[in-house]
Every structure is written in C-alpha cells, then in structure tokens.
Structure 1
C-alpha cells in the first residue's frame, strides 16, 4: 500500500468532482481525485450529453417529416444506428475535457479505483491509502429501479444502457413520466418507434400543470401514448415481448425503459466508518454541504438535493470557499433552474404558480405573455408557448416557461433571482429584435402595464402635466 497525504481528496469524477478538482488545483491546493468508473460521470456518458444528442437527431427526423414554410414533408429514412453514432461522437468530442490526461496535466493526482473509507481521516483506493485535510463525496447517482414484481426477470433498459442500442425498438414502453422518460419517449417516437409511457401519477408532475399540459399534448399529437394514473403492477415476458400490467390494463412492447428517478451512489464508501450519516436521498448535509464528519463534504447528487449537472457545478463553487479559503458559504436552491428538453421545452425556476399562491397568498402577482405575440416566434412557426412570472413585492420569485428555447430564456430570470433583482431590471433590458428573448421583456411589461395603463392616478397626472408643462 502507498500512503498519500493531500489537502483535498475528491471521490467521484463527474461534473461536481471535476469542477472542484480543476478549481482547487489551480488555486494551489494539493488534490487527489478518485474515480472507480468513467471520467465525466453520468452526465457525459449516460445522461445530459447522449440524451440531448439523440433528441437532436430526432428533431431532424421530425423536421423532414413535417415540412412547412413551402417545403413538402417527406417520410425520413431513419438509420437508428447512425443516430446512436452521433450520440457516441458527441461523447467522444467532450471526453478529452473530462479526461484523466487533462486533469493530470493540471496537477491533479488521479487514482482510477473505487474508494472506501477506513476511518474518519483515511480513504482506501486501490493500492493507496489517502489521508486528506478535507474529503468531498461527489459520487453522483444511478438509476433507481423500483421493486415491481417480475421486473428482475425480464430485460430492461435504464439511461445507462439505452444508448448502447443499435437497432430501433419496435415498441418502447417507458415506466416513468418525468423529464427523462418524456424526453426519450419523444425522441424514439420521432425516430419511428411506437412508444407508450406509463406513469403512476401525473406526467411531468413537478411542473406547472398548464404548461406541462402543452408538452403532453404535443407528445400525444406526435403519437406517444401517455397513460397517467396507471402505476405498473407487474412485469412479465421476454426479450422482444415484454408486458407491463397497469391499472388501465396490460401494455406489451419490444423494449422496456425504466425511468422513475435516481438514487445516490454511496454503497461502496463505507461511510459509517467515517462517521458520515446518510438518509434515503443521500448524505446528510447542512446548508454548507458539510456532513456529520466536519472534514467531509458532499456535493451534487450525493448531497441528496436537486439532481442536475448545473447544481453539481454550483456546489463545487460553494465548498471551495470554506475548504481552500476558510470562508463561510451556503448552498441555496431558490435560484436554480431546471429544464425538460422536449419540444417544446419546459423550464422552471423557483415555485410553480400553485406553490407560490400557497406561500404568498394575495401578495402574488402573475405576469403572463404568450409566444404567439412574439414576432420571431411567428416568423419561425414557434408560437406554441407561454411564460409566467410570479412576482411578490416587485421581485420575481418564480418563472415557468414552455416553448421554443425555454432553457435559454430561463437564464436571465436565474440571474434575477440569484441577485435579488426587481422586475424593473428585466423591463429596462433592451432585447434585440426580432428574438425570442423579447418574450422575457414582454412578460416584465405585462407586470407593469396594469400599474401604468389601468391606473386613474397615472392618467390624471398625465393630463395635469400636459396642461401645465409648456
């Protein structure tokens, strides 16, 4: 065994761990990075990157199939294996940025082995025992597989195996109507597969029902069979003929995708030996992301909060302050956006309208604007969409957007919430014309319009000024 001493030991080379390692080593800390599987973690290899690459291929097929603007529609010839080659190309292009070679070049000691705590101060990884001033658990999460009777007896896919397919599923059954399930449902329907989604509750249940309904209507119009309120009771069959029993009857298809959420990857770490308490969602941490062992932090999915790559990067920025500089820092969630990358996209930051009404009651004002009133949306045929801005005392507390480029449009609102900006900041913005970005400014205008145009005091004041001022 080789004994190593370091300032910081990071367990996990996904988005959270890589962001922290790069920042810490460039600030002068000695850093050891431990990874037992793939560099880049879930986001690069099984999540964000491959799913968005497949969605891009599917969008191309949909564009050809639907035509428009004087272009005749034709049924596309789809090469599913080539679409998956595009997925592999996207991963391969990004891989060098997340590679062991790059991080070793930055000065990080990279150890490719699974880590296991021996005690409160030491971690064993391969042939090394690492003693660090601070440890950070950044091991991410893995697909949660629910205990559905019969599931273990049939072949099923998760996001970790879906992108290994080379032949298009004839009929893809998706258990789970959340973002992953709905994205992959639309992608495969556009690529020519029959798709059925089984959801025990309401599909896209975390989002505003009005806006989520627009997405679900689009998917249904494209041929996706979405069965809500239909929990999976039993799974049976064999490869190519899998049946799922639901409250609404059986569904039989060729392939089964399980997409019902994720669970933190903590099993191998022997956290009890380190005095680190856990809960079902992940490591127990405070607002400072510190565990019950004050030398050990947890970030990203391992911390048991919002499971997004951008949150992982944000957490890395939070913990680097106390670890390297001794400065206090706390993680917040009110300014964190989330996006479902269907078409149309669905973006949310802060509470939904129902949640905001429950929290703020009569103090809440809802400003709305429809994409149908945006000139760029009209010109490009993307008028299906709505933005809702939830305002309390002149400040946005939440924003819901459904429509083209909703994931891009949510950015300025994330800036506003992160910095406590008022609605005047968005109203004062000058957006280039014609862009979808004007949707944000028009929503801000919708908040101020009643105060200016429906206010008798304003109208009276204007009349007085027009008479008195030469």
Structure 2
C-alpha cells in the first residue's frame, strides 16, 4: 500500500525541522528525509558550536584582562580539548530536542539516507517511494572551496571540521573575513592561537556598515590578530611541516588554514531535473510564495540562496506550511530581516545601510547616532566603544539600524519590532527605558531626530525664545 503524504520534507536542518514539527502538530501526514543528522548545519557545524566556542574564548579573554577591574590572575591555562568538549556537550543537549524519537512521537515518518525525485510526485529513498501532495526542498548548503593552488594537497579546515579538533593549532590563517571568519578568528586567538584573517575586500564583513565593521576590526587588531585587507590567497604549500600561504607579495606561515569563503547550495543528486524544478547559481529558484517552478514543490533555507540565517530558514518554513497545507496565498516578506555577528564587540543590523538609503531616498534621509561611551551602563562595564546608528527618513520612518557594541544582537530587537509594525522612530524615543541599561542607547539615538529637527527650525527657536522672554518679563 502506497502512503501519500501531505508534505514530504527533504532535509532535516532548521527549515525542515520547523516544517515537519509544525505540519505534524497540525495533524498533517509528514515525511522527513535526512541524509546524515537531524539539526543540520546550524546545530552541528554552525550557530550552536560557534557560539559555544565564542563563549569559551570570551571567558579566557575576560580572565586575561581582569586587571582593568582591579582583579589580577595568573595567565590562564587553556585546555583546548576541554573547550571543544564544552561545544560538543552543548550540541548533545540541543540534539535531544531534534532527535528522531521526538519527531516520530509527533507522528512524523523519519527516513535516513540519500534520495532523489523520480518524478514531480515521487521521492525515492532506500528503494522506498514517498508519494506527496506537496514537497519541501530544504537541503541547506555547504562550504564553498576557493580555487587556491595546492589547497587540496596541503589540507584545510571548514566549519564542518573545526569543532571536532582535539588540539588547537598554534597558528591559524582564516581565509575569508565574513561573520564566520571573524567570529572564529577571534575565538581561536583568545584561546591562544596566532591568527591571521585574510579579507578580499577593503573591509572585513563587507555587507555591514563600513564604520561599524571598522570598530570590530580595530578590536581584532588590538587583540593581536593580523588582518590583511584587499588580499587574496593564490597558492599554498607545505615547507618543513608548516603551511605557507602566498598572499600577494606576502607569505603567511601557519599550522592550519580555516576556510570561510561563502556557501554552495546542496542541489546535486536530488533528481531535480526529473521533478522539473529549476535551479540557478544561487540554488533552487522560488517565487514570493516559495514555490519552485513546480507549484507543489517548495524551497526554504540556504538551498534557495538569499538570507542564509537560521531564523530566516525558520520563517520561510512557516510560510511554506501555510501555503502547502492550506491555501497558497502567503508571500514571504523580507522587508525586516535582522542579523548579528557575535564577535566582541557584537555587530547587528536590520534594514538599509546609509549608502543604500541615500541611493533610494536622496536628501530625505536622517542619520541618528549615539556612542556607547555616552551610555552609563557601558562605561560601568568598561564597554564604552561602538555606537548605535539609526537611518530614518525625515518624517521618522525607520529605514535601517546598525549597532556595534556590547550585546548588539539583543539590542537590535527593539528596532526590529518598531520596523515590523511600521512605527516611527518616536516610538523608541518615547518609551521609558530602565536606567542604567545598555538599551538606553536606542532611546538616545532615537532622540537625535528631534534634536536635529529643532536645530534646523529657526522659526520654532525664535517662537520659543520670544515665549520665554515674555514669561520672564512678567516676573
């Protein structure tokens, strides 16, 4: 007897797990196909392990720099294998939530192995044919490997191997200065490695506001990390047991190379051509409803390109569930997409950069900025570096926000809420913020629009000046 599923989910990462769990709890018949481990890249090789390692590095750094608070310790002894054990323990705890048993208890049929479409209504795995009214392709992505001469012969690390290391390399070259490269580069440096970060652009994290990225780069360099901008690795070879990476006219000599040079969608061997699904350079092509070229086959997560974040994958899965199981009327809305880089200081963003805003709105742009050095809580914690920068139209409409400083990834959500509900910047200025908290920076930055408007309004200033002169004359 052939079972027809309401939804066959291909890929057990963030998007796939959200879709499978939600679908099953709505009493739909769900099949979940996973090649290796439930949880996907985020749990095993991405968000979870990287943030766990980042925290270990932060602890080492804070112990090492405690003297600025009058707390003196000996140089910390770092046992790298125990730090990695912490990472693996965290993965293990979270893995229980993503276990096969949990999903089967929800009523999901879980299948492990590599499979492929044989036609647009059938996905075959381990000789079994899964028939579906709808399908979700959520197979994620993998590290992109740059064409560096000698790289494969000398060996390298990606995020898929780095969290399983038993020994810390004494020296590390990070090729790629995006969020992952900067996060891991700083973490390894704080855990005792000599780190060089190689950036192909003129700034690290090129998608971020330049002045915000510059604050992070300054901190990385202050911690002894060498940052090479406008540089590309051309060749690598092993000499006397060391990897020699040729970068322009420089040679970077290290024990290990960590690649952080982008992602490639996992679309091979799925039989997408048999299903009639169109694929582009960025991955599976989808429309606003996340439908592929075949209406009952959807795509979500890294495999469709776009915003490659766990929280976006989860959001896209929710869109797919509504469209696949009910009426296909829901469109994905990417107007307000926040993200954060968890270096120290943290960097978070939502919406447009200043350059993007000026290209779109011309002179109808206001820049509101406030420094953490003018926030009392930041000073109390010796974290008075960085800033909040809000970009609005002159009527207060929020176009974007960029925060670089302590807990920026948490602080950005007040702006995300305001933008999501189309509130103007006055909404952030007007609410009472607890003193002393870091969140005061949002209110102080938001207040800048009122100050700017007043400074430019000579008529209002004259009216107020005459008013107070008149009041004083009555005394």
TM-score by length of 1: 0.96
**8 Å Cα contact 2:340/2:348 also seen in 1:** yes
CA shift, 1:157, in A, is 0.3
Q: Per-residue displacement from partner, 1:76-123 (whole Å, max 9, x unpaired)?
A: 110000100110111011111111111111111111122210011110
**Structure 1 residues without counterparts, runs of 5 or longer:** none
**8 Å Cα contact 1:239/1:254 also seen in 2:** no
Between the aligned partners of 2:435 and 2:270, the Cα distance in structure 1 is 54
**Counterpart residue number, 1:8:** 7
Between the aligned partners of 1:127 and 1:88, the Cα distance in structure 2 is 34
**8 Å Cα contact 1:149/1:235 also seen in 2:** yes
**8 Å Cα contact 1:230/1:248 also seen in 2:** no
**Counterpart residue number, 1:40:** 39
Between the aligned partners of 2:404 and 2:73, the Cα distance in structure 1 is 26
CA 1:459–1:195: 2 relative to 1, 3 Å: same
**Counterpart residue number, 1:319:** 320
Write out the 4+ residue segments of structure 1 that deviate beyond 6 Å after TM superposition. Answer: none
CA shift, 1:73, in A, is 4.8
Between the aligned partners of 1:447 and 1:269, the Cα distance in structure 2 is 52
CA shift, 1:4, in A, is 2.8
CA shift, 1:20, in A, is 1.1
Choose 324-333 or 314-323, whichever is displaced more: 324-333
**Counterpart residue number, 1:201:** 201
Between the aligned partners of 1:465 and 1:217, the Cα distance in structure 2 is 49
**Counterpart residue number, 2:424:** 422
**Counterpart residue number, 2:358:** 357
Between the aligned partners of 1:431 and 1:264, the Cα distance in structure 2 is 43
CA shift, 1:452, in A, is 3.6
Q: Secondary structure at the match of 1:118?
A: strand
**8 Å Cα contact 1:35/1:115 also seen in 2:** no
CA 1:421–1:327: 2 relative to 1, 3 Å: farther
Between the aligned partners of 2:421 and 2:126, the Cα distance in structure 1 is 44
**Counterpart residue number, 1:181:** 181
CA 1:238–1:275: 2 relative to 1, 3 Å: farther
Choose 196-205 or 254-263, whichever is displaced more: 196-205
**Counterpart residue number, 1:30:** 29
Between the aligned partners of 2:392 and 2:73, the Cα distance in structure 1 is 43
**8 Å Cα contact 1:25/1:107 also seen in 2:** yes
Between the aligned partners of 1:41 and 1:292, the Cα distance in structure 2 is 25
Q: Secondary structure at the match of 2:69?
A: coil
**8 Å Cα contact 1:66/1:74 also seen in 2:** no
**Counterpart residue number, 1:152:** 152
**8 Å Cα contact 2:121/2:131 also seen in 1:** yes
1:195-274 → structure 2 map (5 Å cutoff): 195-202=195-202, 203-237=204-238, 240-274=241-275
User: CA RMSD for the aligned pairs?
Assistant: 1.8
- Residues paired across the two proteins, number: 469
CA shift, 1:402, in A, is 0.5
Q: Does 1:288 align with 2:289?
A: yes
Between the aligned partners of 1:330 and 1:277, the Cα distance in structure 2 is 19
**8 Å Cα contact 1:284/1:303 also seen in 2:** yes
Q: Secondary structure at the match of 2:133?
A: strand
Q: Secondary structure at the match of 1:149?
A: coil
CA shift, 1:462, in A, is 4.2
**Counterpart residue number, 2:72:** 72
**Structure 2 residues without counterparts, runs of 5 or longer:** none
1:389-400 → structure 2 map (5 Å cutoff): 389-392=390-393, 393-400=395-402
**Counterpart residue number, 2:345:** 344
CA shift, 1:463, in A, is 5.7
**Counterpart residue number, 1:457:** 459
Between the aligned partners of 1:239 and 1:364, the Cα distance in structure 2 is 57
CA shift, 1:155, in A, is 1.5
